[in-house]
Amino acid sequence: MNQNNNIPKLRFPEFSDTWENKKLGEIGNFIGGGTPSTKNANFWNGDVPWISSSDISDESIYKINKSRFISREAISQTATKLIPAKSILIVSRVGVGKVAINETEICTSQDFTNLIVELDNYIFLAYLIKFKTNKLLEFNQGTSIKGFVKSDLENLEINIPSLPEQTKIATFLTAVDEKLTQLKQKKELLSQYKKGVMQQIFSQKLRFKDDNGNDFEDWEEKNLSDLAKIMYGKDQKQVIDENGKYPILGTGGIIGKTNSFLCNKASVLIGRKGTIDKPVYMETPFWSVDTLFYTDVFSNTFPKWLYFQFQNINWYLYNEASGVPSLSASTIYKIKIQLPCFSEQTKIANFLSALDEKISNAENKITLMEQWKKGLLQKMFI
């Protein structure tokens, strides 16, 4: 905020008026929600949408999953309330900080404190509230915020511009969110396409041709023991070095650095205990902890192809523990797969790697745009 005036750092050039300071409770009225008893069949399968905090997204104020409906009887006889259209739905307990707007009448669970607004541009206010509640959560990181009570929200100080500026900001941020949604949809479509094409490839319904356009030879049934040796990771405590040049890998990703390595060639890793269904591919030297297997891949197998084969395996079918999921080398060795010739393995791996690169590029665009949007909000709101 400008030190001398109640104005934001960044605004559209046609506006110069100062923003008006208010408390959120001056803008409208707050109404809570409730959950009708599921034991009373008369309360459910009516015509009014009823949502819980899991039905709205952190990603967009417009995204509401309406899958449950209650009756007018439930509204009249339980704690849930009918929220009019064009209200602001604020998650104040479980999932605290999520905000959405409703275009039709709706009911919510007790996890919401809903604002029935008297402001003309409720979309602008929804963006502003989401920004303010997120800032409050960020400021209190490290402390335990279990939610906001009604008085917290009523006393939340906000700054509001003129209606034309509200409309301009709301329209702009809506366009930004629409672009983000498009990017996320593109990434999801690419991920779904990859999943489908992998099923086609590993079931051999989709086959590649050699460089001369000829069919490759038939695939051979093998045990995984014919493709690679399963290697055990080691405890990292004695080798960890924050200035090291090699990553130390755990089942959740990189957990440290070291100047030592257990493997210095292409390898596929899979969890031994804990997360057992997230294979990792490494081409550079690394250290693996003792809960993460790595592989010494044999010469008949293209390592990147093995990585995609590992992605295609339902590892939980081979889980050997009733508590923390676990795999053993002996069980992995017995898994049967169909092995194409090395040349076809290479073509498969290159094709799927190109898809992974497209997915990664889409993820990077999403991340950059989300960071850009966050920076904008810091400057556009007070």
Low-confidence ranges of the chain (pLDDT < 50): 1, 3, 141-142
Same domain, 132 and 39: yes
Same domain, 318 and 283: yes
Could you tell me the CA-to-CA distances from 359 to 142, 307, 351 in Å, in that order?
33, 17, 13
Neighbours of 165 (CB within 10 A): 20
Question: In total, how many domains does the chain have?
Answer: 3
Same domain, 226 and 171: no
CATH classification at residue 372 = 1.10.287.1120
Same domain, 91 and 169: no
370: phi then psi, degrees, rounded to nearest 5: -65, -40
Same domain, 41 and 64: yes
SS3 154: helix
CATH classification at residue 111 = 3.90.220.20
Q: State the Rg of the chain over Cα.
A: 27
Could you tell me the CA-to-CA distances from 130 to 57, 195, 344 in Å, in that order?
12, 35, 51
Neighbours of 333 (CB within 10 A): 15
Q: Is residue 233 part of a domain?
A: yes
Q: Tell me, what's the pLDDT at 3?
A: 47
Q: Please name which of 215, 188, 194, 187 lies closest in space to residue 354, comparing C-alpha atoms.
A: 194
Same domain, 1 and 48: no
**Taking a C-beta distance cutoff of 8 angstroms, is the pair 114, 89 a contact?**
yes
Same domain, 200 and 264: no
Q: Is residue 214 part of a domain?
A: no
User: Tens of pLDDT along 304-356?
Assistant: 999 999 999 999 999 998 899 999 999 999 999 999 999 999 999 999 999 99
Q: Is residue 325 part of a domain?
A: yes
C-alpha span between 234 and 291 (Å, rounded): 8
Q: Tell me, what's the pLDDT at 121?
A: 85
Same domain, 334 and 362: no
The whole-model pTM stands at 0.84
SS3 282: strand
Tell me the residue range of the domain where 241 lies.
220-339
Same domain, 56 and 142: yes
